[in-house]
Structure 1
Amino acid sequence: MKGYAIPSKMPWHLTDDVYVPVNSNGEFHWVLAVVALKERCIKVYDSMFSNRSNRKLFSEIQKMATMLPKYLELSGFYEQNERTNWSVLKCYQGKNKSHPFEVSHVTGIAQQEISSLDCEIFVAAYAEYLSDGLQVPSCGINVDTLRLRYASRLWNYGIVKA
């Protein structure tokens, strides 16, 4: 399975990537952190990457990179070898189980306009592209179209559920 956004619904050892929307201390900016388990890496998709002044957000991602291995160790993740033998993967060799994950900021992806507050739309779009096995485009994300599309999906879900 390529990715899964709700780890409580599926054991982590049965997926390759886990999508985590990250907000910095109640700020208005969100990013998508993709925990790439087989690469022992957290890939950060930031629609305002050029705005490196957000040290709080970087600090949150670093905390996740440090705490995640301990969580995986305590939950027995590394002992789950039915799908992947973690100890033979190159990125796990030579590192103890609590060694922090690498953090990689993905560049060359579509960015929002500086004056906009559309980061949540970009997080949803990034997750959609990645879960479909596609590369995130470098441009061409139309937030108005995405808002309409996501709103219609939610409306349809509500109708079907009712």
Structure 2
Amino acid sequence: MKGYAMPFGRPWHLTDDVYVPVNSDAEFHWVFAVVALKERCIKVYDSMSSNSSNRKLSSEIQKMATMLPKYLELSGFFAQNERTNWSILKCYQGKNKSRPFKVSHVTGIAKQESSSLDCGIFVYAYAEYLSDGLQVSSCGISADTLRLRYASLL
């Protein structure tokens, strides 16, 4: 189930990773976040990753990193042990369950051109790579090719 996007009708405790597109209120920019539940980490894939973009998005991601564990604790997520015994995972052992998730900005990934508005295409491409069990490449993502490909799928 690794890389399974948000499960409609599927319980959270049966999912390893949850995919979340995140929009910055301050800018017209999207990033891709992977909530790695078994690692207690939010991995951020940003196709721009400029300093101003990082500062604005960091506050959005940090809000999610703080609110998510509280929601999971209150919803009884950590009590569900049929697939994963959360208490024996190293990142959960002896720690307050409502402690914020660690945030990790993934580096070495393909980036969009600085003048483009292709962040949505890159978010989709990152999701596709990861859901297929692949690493996001450091180059070779062509927004024009992806637009054509995704349009043909529609």
Amino acid at match of 2:76: G
Q: Does 1:24 align with 2:24?
A: yes
Aligned residues: 153
**Secondary structure of 1:96's aligned partner:** coil
Following TM superposition, the consecutive aligned residue runs of length 4 or more in structure 1 with deviations greater than 2 angstroms are 3-9
Amino acid at match of 2:44: V
- Determine the C-alpha separation between the residues in 2 that align with 1:112 and 1:130: 18
Q: Which residue of 2 aligns with 1:72?
A: 72
TM-score (norm 2): 0.95
Q: Which residue of 1 aligns with 2:51?
A: 52
TM-aligned CA distance change 1:26 to 1:152, over 3 Å = farther
5+ residue gaps in structure 2?
none
Q: Which residue of 1 aligns with 2:141?
A: 141
Amino acid at match of 2:45: Y
- Determine the C-alpha separation between the residues in 2 that align with 1:22 and 1:11: 22
1:22 deviates by 0.1
**Secondary structure of 1:134's aligned partner:** coil
Deviation per CA, 1:25-76, whole angstroms, max 9, x where unpaired? 1621100000000000000000012x02122211000000000000100111
Q: Which residue of 2 aligns with 1:126?
A: 126
Amino acid at match of 2:51: R
CA-based RMSD = 1.1
Amino acid at match of 2:70: K
TM-score (norm 1): 0.91
Q: Is the 8 A contact 2:129 2:136 kept in 1?
A: yes
5+ residue gaps in structure 1?
155-162
Q: Is the 8 A contact 2:3 2:132 kept in 1?
A: no
Q: Is the 8 A contact 2:7 2:15 kept in 1?
A: no
- Determine the C-alpha separation between the residues in 2 that align with 1:21 and 1:4: 14
